[in-house]
Amino acid sequence: MVVGKNVKGFWRYQAGDCAFSIRPHNGFWVPFFEDEHLGTYQSPQIALQELVGGSTFTPSSGVWPAELELPDDLSDWVYVPFGPAP
């Protein structure tokens, strides 16, 4: 797992029926609910902190991430490496 310019993957967490992820995008890190962009941050740790603290955009579904007790440590999320390009 590499954080920085040579990003090799992203993190995901399944909270019941709700799928969250923190993915790289244009040099920044973005927390997602399903495929919905919830903000843009400088690091995956900051994106996670803002997500679990309820400081991101609210998903259009009305799900409030801060109420789901998401883990606040990336080591508790599933790291998904990017596969080789087809």
Q: How far apart are CA 15 and CA 33, in angstroms?
A: 11
Report domain extents, the chain: 9-81
DSSP letters spanning the chain: ---STT--EEEEEEETTEEEEEEEETTEEEEEETTEE---BSSHHHHHHHHHTT-SPPPTT---GGGGT--SSGGGSEEEEPPPP-
**Residue 79: predicted pLDDT:** 95
**Residue 1: predicted pLDDT:** 44
**Residue 66: predicted pLDDT:** 85
Residue 2 has pLDDT above 50, yes or no: no
Q: What is the pTM of this model?
A: 0.85
pLDDT digits (tens, 9 = 90+) for 35-71: 999 999 999 999 999 999 999 998 999 888 888 989 9
- The count of C-alpha atoms lying within 13 angstroms of the C-alpha of 55, restricted to the half-sphere facing its C-beta, is 8
